[in-house]
Chain A
Amino acid sequence: MNTCILVAGIGGQGVMTAAEALARAALAAGLEATKTEVTGMSQRGGIVCSQVVIGAHVEASDVRAGHAALLLAFEAAEGLRWVHYLAPHGTALVDPFRAVPPVVSSGVYAYPEDPLAEMRAAGAHVIEVDARAIAERLGDARLANSVMLGAAAGWLPFAAELLRAQVLAQFGRDPRLAQANARAFDAGRNPQRQAHATA
């Protein structure tokens, strides 16, 4: 049975980079993987979602609604937007960070009051990962995607170390950047352990 993962957020949050790390780590583990890319119009502040399928043999790269084992959402409302993709026993790791778009600012639409609560009400197993806040404490909000990867590392069909090595490799050109991302990854690992303990 293949492992289907959705990585969701908005343009500029590093969604594609995170999905790439997941897929490449799966390859390093000797598995097959596909990853969907989004480019063009969606990058202008729009919705970004990459689908990653991992397994011994992968045919279709498209993840069916109701079949994702894992949803990594870098933004609260984006978690809610994709929650129906989760399998019955799937897990959503969601950053409670709220990115309010102009259509909400201008009063045309409303931002959901509590997206995580709505996800739980829909039956999803939701773990809050304060990735952006953790990244800001580490000195750079852009590290949030590595924090999320750290949080995801315990839910994957391969060793967490492979994903950490991939994060290091992806930013390997700049040793300082690589170390900062590795620190963010490690910071993401911890809140999740706490979540396990209280689950």
Chain B
Amino acid sequence: MSARAALAAATARQFLSGNEAVAYGAWEAGVEVAAAYPGTPSTEILETLAACPGVYAEWSTNEKVALEVALGASMVGRRAIAAMKHVGLNVAADSLMTMGLVGVKGGLVVAVADDVGFASSQNEQDSRFWGRFMHLPVLEPADAAEAYEMAREAFALSERFEVPVLLRLTTRVSHVKRAVEVSGRREAPDPARHGYSKDAERWVITPNHVGRRLQIRAARDRALAEETLKSRWNAVRPGRDRRVGFIASGVACHVVREAFPDAPLLTLGFSHPLPVPLAAEFALGCDRVLVVEEVEPIMEQELRAAGVPVHGKEVLPLQGEITAPVLERAVARLLGGPRSDAPESRRPARVFPRPPTLCAGCPYMGVYFWLGQLRDAVVCGDIGCYSLGCSEPWNAMDSIIAMGASLGVAHGMAKAFEGDPKAKPVLAVIGDSTFLHTGMPALANLTYQGANVTVLLLDNRSTAMTGGQDNPGTGRRLDGSPAPRLDFAEIARALGVRAERIRRVDPYELPTVLRVLREEMKAPEPSVIIASRPCVLGKDFERRPPLAVLQDRCNGCARCLDVGCPAITVTRRERQRRATGKVVDLAWVRIEPSACTGCELCAKACARGAIVAR
């Protein structure tokens, strides 16, 4: 059911993920502007809002821009939301820091989803730190139902205190569905709130205005601290078993109730500013107190610093999700009783791993086929589907750091290699959306400083990894309307790459890719190779008839397997000793017709012409 249909439905009970619930709550609060950059586990927030009536929604080029779009809307009195994953807030942090100082006008909510357990991220971060750093209130829903209610209330809170509200989600909130009672009624945006009048003392944050804003912020901190003391989200559930009392926030509240239903529990849904007096009073009624939070010991350390005797990460893990068995083990250790050594269940069977792969027909395979064979070059990678180039069979990456980092890192290496007799050619690999996200300033720097880097811009006309969202390179907006389509060659030219060093290749043309790659790696200056082909999962992809292997022509050389296409499977392996004494491993293959897209990459890799159209 589309969000629009769901919102219009008479039934109040919806089965929603936390991300969908945030969108429903924001919509009911009358949010009018929503901006985001996609990122797991946050993407569905904007996708759901985009289907809601009365909301302007956009995929911005990065999280900082998205947040600034939300601020602009707030400055003219509109309720606005910016959504992002945890690492996205690192990108947006510069502007959010100022927003913590100048505040907001229309209610502004920053929904940030932490990938606890790092299923789809380069790290694990606790976004609640930003609340401390930037003096922002932090709401931590335990599930979709709370996410809905908190999102609905957060805008009014934001307006009352003129502050952005950090709605901190985690994977198990964002990506678990539960029944949520939604009202389906949208609070009409208040026209009295709308409008703009110049207020330079506030919105122009020059040094002469900072002092006053710091005073205002300090007063706001005190008022927010009062607010969290009486918030309905911070409440005690009494319990008979007082050996251990629990203080928990977010999804950990469910875990405590699951594992220790009879224990006293203080849930902190409005967790910053931390309501220390509530915790201190709660602690008096328990033999000992365990703080259960994902993932950093933030509340624990603040409580201990305030003189409240609590336990926490000395028995709980410092990474990953806290599940009921994890909590039970921690409590057993805390109570010092005999540890149960009984195996809880059968042991996991040994089964091969099934790492994610590039899709059958993915145009990136045409690039990685060659990059995997470069034995004496350094390839700096970036973040997207093409990160998979680091894995088998290509192993074609030396680094992946952060969104847009490939160019800067490659630049530094190239500069450091200058004059080094052992210098290696340096390449950077970056996707279309990532290039627009944070790659462009690095390319300007690279050409400006004259670093000898070969940049491979993999343009599949899609923000593919997160589900194929549009971006300024696709020629379409979020709502499907046509948009100006950026020309990557023109961008490269404008950013200082010489016209002769800007090459466009079709990644399906294997020999051409190699020739161009060799030429540009040889060139003693920055070059950009733009490899364009639509994502196989996108609207623009045209599937061709599947290919098949002529078994009588195949000699088992296995070169087609270097393409890395998941549609090619091995039917037979053999080890042969050649007349020269050399031992070779041979493999015969078949092509799965239902998976094959007919891209012919494998046919071009085959020296025997053994792969043909069926």
Kindly state whether residue B455 has any CB partner on chain A within 8 Å.
Answer: no
Q: Which of B43, B178, B385 has the most CB of A within 10 A?
A: B178
Residue of B nearest to A104 (CB): B352
* A115-B350 Cα distance, complex, nearest whole Å: 11
Kindly state whether residue A102 has any CB partner on chain B within 8 Å.
Answer: yes
* A61-B465 Cα distance, complex, nearest whole Å: 26
| Interface residue ranges of B158-180 to A (CB < 8 Å) | 172, 175-179
CB distance from A120 to the nearest CB of B (A): 12
Q: Once the chains bind, are A122 and B570 in contact (CB under 8 Å)? A: no
Q: Once the chains bind, are B355 and A103 in contact (CB under 8 Å)? A: yes
The 8 Å CB contact of A62, one of B13, B172, B561, B570, is B172
Residue of A nearest to B360 (CB): A45
- Chain A residues with CB under 8 Å of B570's CB are 105-107
The 8 Å CB contact of B392, one of A46, A66, A108, is A108
The 8 Å CB contact of A102, one of B120, B351, B467, B564, is B564
Q: Once the chains bind, are A123 and B346 in contact (CB under 8 Å)? A: yes
CB distance from B295 to the nearest CB of A (A): 16
- Chain B residues with CB under 8 Å of A34's CB are 176-178
Kindly state whether residue B573 has any CB partner on chain A within 8 Å.
Answer: yes
Q: Once the chains bind, are A39 and B349 in contact (CB under 8 Å)? A: no
Query: Residue-by-residue, is A34-51 near B (CB-CB < 8 Å gives 1, otherwise 0)?
Result: 111111111111110000
| Interface residue ranges of B333-379 to A (CB < 8 Å) | 344-349, 351-359
- Chain A residues with CB under 8 Å of B254's CB are 59-61
Kindly state whether residue A27 has any CB partner on chain B within 8 Å.
Answer: yes
Query: Residue-by-residue, is B363-407 near A (CB-CB < 8 Å gives 1, otherwise 0)?
Result: 000000000000000000000010010001100000000000000
Residue of A nearest to B173 (CB): A61
The 8 Å CB contact of B344, one of A64, A100, A102, is A64
* A77-B348 Cα distance, complex, nearest whole Å: 12
- Chain A residues with CB under 8 Å of B325's CB are 64-65
Count B-side interface residues using an 8 Å CB cutoff: 58
Q: Once the chains bind, are B353 and A24 in contact (CB under 8 Å)? A: no
Q: Once the chains bind, are A41 and B561 in contact (CB under 8 Å)? A: no
* A11-B323 Cα distance, complex, nearest whole Å: 25
Supposing A66-B345, A122-B346 touch, asked if A37 and B255 sit within 8 A by C-beta, the answer is no
| Interface residue ranges of A7-61 to B (CB < 8 Å) | 10-11, 20, 23-24, 27, 32-47, 58-61
Q: Once the chains bind, are B349 and A80 in contact (CB under 8 Å)? A: yes
Kindly state whether residue B258 has any CB partner on chain A within 8 Å.
Answer: yes
Kindly state whether residue A101 has any CB partner on chain B within 8 Å.
Answer: yes
Supposing A32-B179, A105-B561 touch, asked if A39 and B41 sit within 8 A by C-beta, the answer is yes
| Interface residue ranges of B1-32 to A (CB < 8 Å) | 13, 15, 17
Q: Once the chains bind, are B353 and A109 in contact (CB under 8 Å)? A: yes
The 8 Å CB contact of B568, one of A43, A58, A83, A105, is A105
Kindly state whether residue A118 has any CB partner on chain B within 8 Å.
Answer: yes
- Chain A residues with CB under 8 Å of B43's CB are 39
Kindly state whether residue A1 has any CB partner on chain B within 8 Å.
Answer: no
- Chain B residues with CB under 8 Å of A36's CB are 172, 175-177
* A109-B351 Cα distance, complex, nearest whole Å: 9
Kindly state whether residue A84 has any CB partner on chain B within 8 Å.
Answer: yes
| Interface residue ranges of A101-148 to B (CB < 8 Å) | 101-112, 115, 118-119, 122-123, 141
- Chain B residues with CB under 8 Å of A187's CB are none
- Chain A residues with CB under 8 Å of B41's CB are 39-40
Supposing A24-B15, A46-B356 touch, asked if A112 and B566 sit within 8 A by C-beta, the answer is no
Residue of A nearest to B351 (CB): A81
The 8 Å CB contact of A61, one of B119, B176, B352, B561, is B176
The 8 Å CB contact of B594, one of A47, A80, A141, is A141
Q: Once the chains bind, are B177 and A45 in contact (CB under 8 Å)? A: no
Q: Once the chains bind, are A39 and B175 in contact (CB under 8 Å)? A: yes
The 8 Å CB contact of B40, one of A41, A66, A81, A122, is A41
- Chain A residues with CB under 8 Å of B358's CB are 44
Q: Once the chains bind, are A106 and B348 in contact (CB under 8 Å)? A: no
| Interface residue ranges of A62-108 to B (CB < 8 Å) | 62, 64-67, 77, 80-81, 83-86, 100-108
Residue of A nearest to B177 (CB): A35
- Chain B residues with CB under 8 Å of A64's CB are 323-325, 344-345
Supposing A41-B40, A62-B172 touch, asked if A85 and B353 sit within 8 A by C-beta, the answer is no
- Chain A residues with CB under 8 Å of B259's CB are 60
* A106-B558 Cα distance, complex, nearest whole Å: 9
Q: Once the chains bind, are A103 and B352 in contact (CB under 8 Å)? A: yes
Q: Once the chains bind, are B172 and A81 in contact (CB under 8 Å)? A: no
CB distance from A1 to the nearest CB of B (A): 13
Kindly state whether residue B193 has any CB partner on chain A within 8 Å.
Answer: no
* A86-B571 Cα distance, complex, nearest whole Å: 33
Residue of B nearest to A47 (CB): B354
- Chain B residues with CB under 8 Å of A118's CB are 349
Supposing A61-B176, A141-B594 touch, asked if A106 and B40 sit within 8 A by C-beta, the answer is no
Residue of A nearest to B253 (CB): A59
The 8 Å CB contact of B347, one of A39, A84, A86, is A84
* A80-B259 Cα distance, complex, nearest whole Å: 28
Residue of B nearest to A111 (CB): B352
Kindly state whether residue B63 has any CB partner on chain A within 8 Å.
Answer: no
Residue of A nearest to B18 (CB): A37
CB distance from B46 to the nearest CB of A (A): 14
* A123-B343 Cα distance, complex, nearest whole Å: 15
Q: Once the chains bind, are A45 and B359 in contact (CB under 8 Å)? A: yes
Supposing A59-B257, A84-B349 touch, asked if A102 and B392 sit within 8 A by C-beta, the answer is yes
Q: Once the chains bind, are B356 and A102 in contact (CB under 8 Å)? A: no
Kindly state whether residue B321 has any CB partner on chain A within 8 Å.
Answer: yes
Q: Once the chains bind, are B569 and A45 in contact (CB under 8 Å)? A: no
Q: Once the chains bind, are A107 and B573 in contact (CB under 8 Å)? A: yes
- Chain B residues with CB under 8 Å of A47's CB are 354
- Chain B residues with CB under 8 Å of A61's CB are 143, 172, 176, 178, 254
Q: Once the chains bind, are A23 and B177 in contact (CB under 8 Å)? A: yes
* A106-B589 Cα distance, complex, nearest whole Å: 10
Residue of B nearest to A99 (CB): B354
- Chain B residues with CB under 8 Å of A67's CB are 345
30 contacts between A and B (CB under 8 A): A20-B177, A36-B172, A36-B175, A38-B175, A40-B41, A40-B466, A41-B119, A41-B120, A42-B356, A45-B359, A45-B566, A58-B178, A59-B258, A60-B259, A60-B323, A61-B143, A61-B254, A62-B255, A66-B345, A66-B346, A81-B348, A83-B349, A84-B347, A85-B345, A86-B346, A100-B569, A101-B354, A102-B566, A111-B352, A122-B349
- Pairs A-B, 6 closest by C-beta atoms: A66-B345, A40-B40, A109-B352, A44-B356, A40-B120, A60-B258
Q: Residues on B close to A: CB < 8 A?
A: 13, 15, 17, 40-41, 43-44, 119-120, 143, 172, 175-179, 254-255, 257-259, 321, 323-325, 344-349, 351-359, 385, 388, 392-393, 465-467, 561, 564, 566, 568-570, 573, 585, 587, 589, 594
Q: 17 other contacts beyond A62-B324, A66-B344, A105-B568, with CB at 8 A cut-off?
A: A34-B177, A36-B175, A39-B40, A41-B40, A41-B119, A45-B356, A59-B254, A59-B258, A60-B257, A61-B172, A61-B176, A65-B325, A65-B348, A83-B349, A100-B569, A105-B570, A107-B587
